[in-house]
Structures are given as C-alpha cells and as structure tokens.
C-alpha cells in the first residue's frame, strides 16, 4: 500500500517547465512555431463545456493554412462542448468540408513524430499538468509543437502566449498523452507553411523595445472538453472513415502523409484569384509530386513574419528543403506568372538541388529515352574498350592453361577405361605368352 501511494505521488508530480519558444536548456527551438497572434483561448460551447478539441484543430488549421478551419472555434460555440473522434468527423463535415485529416487512437507516438518532422501540428489528448493544481488530472486536448529525443513541448489553449509553452521529457509527454484512456490525435494532411529564408532569423514575434508589455489577463475558469469515455476505441480514421491498419500504412507510407520533409517548397503570394491558377498548374505538372505548395495573401503571418517578398502578380518563391535549424535557402523568386508553368518549370530545372540537365528526357521519343551528352558517350565507349581488352587477355592467356590443368587432374583422378578392341588385343597377347610357356614345359622325352 505504501509503495502504491509513493508511486501515485510520483506519477502526478512529474516535472515540466513553462517557458518560451526555446527549450529549458537553450539547445532546441520549437519545431512548430505558431505566432502568438494566432493562438486561441479555449472557450465553451452553448452548454458551457469546453471546446479544447475544436480550438486545437483550428490551431492546426491556422498553422497549415487550411482556410476551411478559420473560425472553426467560433462556429462551434453554438454547438454543445466536448469532443470525441466521431464528433470531430461530424463537425468538420458540417463546418469545414473539404478538410483532409487523419485521426489516430492508440499508444504509438511514432505517428506524432512523423507529423512534426514533416512540419504538421498535431492536436493531442493531455491527461495531466501540474499547473492545474490539485491532482493535476485533466481531460483535455492541446497541440504538440515539439517532440525530439530530448524534449517535448505543448501549446495549451487554456494558456495561450509565446511564453506559456510547457516543456518536458518525451517519455513524460507520452505518459500524459495516454493518461486516462487517451492516446488520441488529430492532424491535418495539408502542407506546412514556408520555412524562414536561410539568411533570416526565425519568426520575430518579440515586441519592440519601446512597446509596453500587455497587462496580465484576468484569471478565468479552466475549460476542458475531451470526453474520455467516447475515445476508448483504438484505430485510425481518415476523413471520417474508419480504416484498417493496412490502409493506414498505405496512407502514411505511400499516400497522403509521407515523409515529405525533403521536398522543395513553393510559396505563392498574392490575391486568391492570382494564386489559384499557378497552384493548380504546379500540382498537376511533372513537378507536382516533388514539391509542397502553399498560397497566401500578402498580409498573411506565414510570409510577413519571415520576411518573404510580398509584391507580385503573384510572387512565386521556391525554397530548398529546410535544414537542421528549420530555415531554407531561396532558390528562385519571380514576381509574375507571365510565362506560365513552362517558365516556372524551366527555373526549377536550373535551380533545383542535384539537377542534372543531361538526365532530361526527350518527350518526343517516349518517357524512357534520355538525351546523353557527348562526354557521357565518350565515357561509355572508353569503359567498354577497357572491359573488352581485359576479357580478351584473360581468354587468350588464362583460359587455355586453366583448361589443360583441369584435364590433367581429371585424367589422374579418373583414368580412362580401355576400349573393347584394346581389351581383345591384350587378351590375345596373354594367351600367346601362356602357350609359349607350356610348350617349353611339356616337350616329350624320347625312349632310350
């Protein structure tokens, strides 16, 4: 009994620290750095129950530029609070049709790591935090914004703000995620926002030096909204449809949510009527599977916060995949779409990392015929001649001697059998010798 009480106290007093966008040891920055201006405070539905599930999903939508989810929390205020997987399906279909998303209920955090690695922000259940006082037990949903081998961090919609992130060890986060029958996650499949240009710092959200800090907010009652009893079913759901484990693997490894962190990033900046056509052209072109495309208005935080140029009709910015610090080199930037998809593809071929013009395909001759360079042909002829010389020398010098040695060894080991003619001649010689010997022994002695 004493051991049980000790274990329980240790369980509900695990360590976590509240801080900013940098880990407590100063070694890591948030993987998902949603500006504080985009954070939402949790509110209640028409019955007063919390809307933490739908607030967290809108956070994900704001990060991943899913327009259908803008205002999702406000729309949900006329519904009853509380959330579970089936209700998310129903409410997304009602208020944000066309949103592509995946729900997972289980105990494997591997899917969460993949989402963060590819720049997506999961909404996750959260069963404990010391900042709620008492036992710290809660039935809550938050956003996971960092998960590495050393640190995890969450954005809690009851504590919005860039200095209110909760940091902890990864194992501690996993425990809190699953605590109380949780282990539920919702994440969107849309691409992440553009990475900061390499020459720029990460998002500069700190106030100007002469700007006075805002007054402290009046404390409000904490709201929660995860209905644990309705989240116990384990499995995966894709856009509201229950899927099998095999289908989930197909979606994760070969379908919509793959590890696309190494793809080029293309950002379209302009009025929606100016970005609609190039976005569709890029996604349907030969380069569609190789890039992640996002479109923003010139005043969107995702482009203004990182200093991307916003003038153009539209502005098109191509970036390399993000590096270890989350930033990415700008490979190409154009201020119009005058020459259409052909001009943009030409720029991509010239600027893309590891691009080799000698590997370009001649579309007039079929998809599998390449146009090799003169240097490539010369190299091929040289290699062929060297290989032919080596094979010829080997055949002339080595093969005959090897064959002779093999034949001799075989003859010694397995001597050939005599032919029938040789056997008859041998027998005749033996008989003739025997007859000569008998004549000498049986010669008659004449009587005296």
Whole-angstrom distance, CA of residue 25 vs CA of residue 23 = 5
Residue 417 lies in a domain: no
Statement to judge: residues 184 and 320 lie in one domain = no
Statement to judge: residues 279 and 162 lie in one domain = no
Supply the pLDDT for residue 321.
92
Residues 6+ apart with CB under 8 A from 239: 89, 99, 100, 101, 102
In a 13 Å sphere around the CA of 56, the CA atoms on its Cβ side amount to 35
Statement to judge: residues 124 and 197 lie in one domain = yes
Final residue belonging to a domain, choices 352, 374, 396: 374
Residue 405 lies in a domain: no
Q: What is the pLDDT of residues 238-288, one digit of tens each?
A: 777 777 756 655 555 444 456 788 899 999 999 999 999 999 999 999 889
List the CATH number of the domain containing 333: 3.40.30
Residue 381 lies in a domain: no
The CA-based angle 158-294-64, given to 5 degrees, is 15
Residue 48 lies in a domain: yes
Q: Please name the residue that has the structure tokens 């693997």.
A: 249
φ/ψ (deg, to 5) at 142: -135, -175
Give the bridge partners for 264, in sequence order: 291
Give the bridge partners for 236, in sequence order: 104, 243
Statement to judge: residues 42 and 181 lie in one domain = yes
Other beta carbons less than 10 A from residue 6's beta carbon: 10
List the CATH number of the domain containing 17: 3.90.70
**Residue 343 lies in domain:** 264-374
Q: What is the pLDDT of residues 95-107, one digit of tens each?
A: 999 999 999 988 8
Residue 428 lies in a domain: no
φ/ψ (deg, to 5) at 9: -65, -40
Supply the pLDDT for residue 200.
53
Statement to judge: residues 238 and 274 lie in one domain = no
Number of domains composing the chain: 2
Whole-angstrom distance, CA of residue 346 vs CA of residue 342 = 6
Whole-angstrom distance, CA of residue 144 vs CA of residue 247 = 25
Give the bridge partners for 372, in sequence order: none
State pTM to two decimals. Answer: 0.69
Positions of the chain with pLDDT under 50: 1-13, 201-211, 218, 253-256, 355-357, 360-375, 441-448
**Contact between residue 275 and residue 307 where contact means Cβ atoms under 8 Å apart:** no
Statement to judge: residues 70 and 122 lie in one domain = yes
Residue 3 lies in a domain: no
Statement to judge: residues 242 and 298 lie in one domain = no
Final residue belonging to a domain, choices 374, 400, 419: 374
Final residue belonging to a domain, choices 327, 353, 374: 374
Give first-to-last CA distance, the chain, whole Å.
Answer: 138
Statement to judge: residues 75 and 184 lie in one domain = yes
**Contact between residue 161 and residue 145 where contact means Cβ atoms under 8 Å apart:** no
Residue 413 lies in a domain: no
Statement to judge: residues 280 and 178 lie in one domain = no
Statement to judge: residues 245 and 313 lie in one domain = no
Supply the pLDDT for residue 435.
60
Residue 283 lies in a domain: yes
Statement to judge: residues 240 and 280 lie in one domain = no
Residue environment code for 51-60, b if the CB has 16+ CB neighbours within 10 A, otherwise e: bbbbbbbbbb
Whole-angstrom distance, CA of residue 102 vs CA of residue 253 = 14
Statement to judge: residues 238 and 316 lie in one domain = no
- For the four alpha carbons of 135, 141, 146 and 149, in that order, the dihedral sign comes to positive
């Amino acid at each position: 009994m004493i051991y049980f009480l000790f274990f329980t106290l240790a369980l509900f007093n695990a360590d976590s620290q509240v801080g900013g966008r940098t880990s407590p040891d100063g070694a890591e920055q948030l993987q998902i750095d949603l500006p504080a201006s985009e954070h939402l405070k949790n509110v209640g539905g028409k019955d007063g129950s919390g809307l933490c599930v739908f607030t967290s999903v809108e956070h994900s939508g704001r990060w991943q530029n899913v327009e259908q989810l803008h205002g999702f929390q406000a729309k949900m205020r006329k519904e009853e609070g509380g959330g579970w997987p089936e209700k998310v399906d129903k409410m997304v279909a009602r208020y944000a049709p066309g949103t592509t998303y995946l729900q997972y209920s289980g105990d494997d955090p591997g899917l969460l790591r993949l989402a963060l690695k590819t720049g997506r922000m999961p909404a996750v259940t959260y069963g404990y935090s010391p900042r709620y006082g008492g036992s710290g037990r809660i039935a809550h949903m938050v956003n996971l914004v960092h998960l590495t081998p050393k640190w995890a961090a969450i954005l809690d919609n009851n504590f919005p703000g860039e200095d209110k992130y909760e940091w902890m060890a990864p194992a501690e986060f996993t425990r809190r995620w699953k605590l109380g029958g949780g282990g539920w996650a919702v994440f969107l499949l849309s691409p992440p926002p553009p990475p900061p240009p390499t020459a720029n710092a990460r998002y500069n959200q700190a106030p100007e030096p002469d700007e006075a800090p805002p007054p402290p907010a009046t404390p409000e009652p904490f709201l929660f909204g995860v209905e644990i009893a309705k989240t116990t079913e384990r499995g995966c759901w894709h856009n509201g449809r229950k899927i099998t484990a095999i289908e989930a693997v197909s979606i994760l490894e070969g379908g919509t949510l793959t590890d696309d962190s190494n793809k080029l990033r293309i950002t379209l900046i302009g009025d929606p009527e100016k970005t609609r056509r190039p976005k569709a052209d890029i996604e349907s072109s030969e380069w569609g599977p190789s890039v992640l495309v996002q479109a923003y208005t010139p005043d969107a935080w995702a482009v203004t916060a990182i200093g991307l140029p916003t003038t153009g009709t539209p502005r098109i910015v191509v970036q390399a995949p993000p590096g270890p610090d989350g930033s990415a080199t700008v490979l190409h930037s154009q201020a119009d779409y005058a020459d259409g998809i052909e001009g943009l593809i030409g720029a991509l071929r010239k600027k893309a990392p590891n691009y080799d013009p000698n590997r370009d395909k001649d579309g007039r001759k079929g998809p599998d015929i390449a146009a090799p360079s003169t240097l490539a042909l010369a190299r091929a002829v040289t290699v062929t001649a060297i290989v032919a010389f080596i094979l010829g020398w080997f055949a002339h010098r080595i093969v005959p001697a090897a064959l002779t040695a093999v034949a001799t060894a075989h003859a010694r080991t397995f001597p050939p059998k005599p032919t029938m003619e040789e056997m008859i001649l041998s027998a005749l010689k033996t008989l003739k010798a025997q007859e000569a010997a008998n004549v000498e022994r049986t010669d008659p002695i004449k009587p005296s």
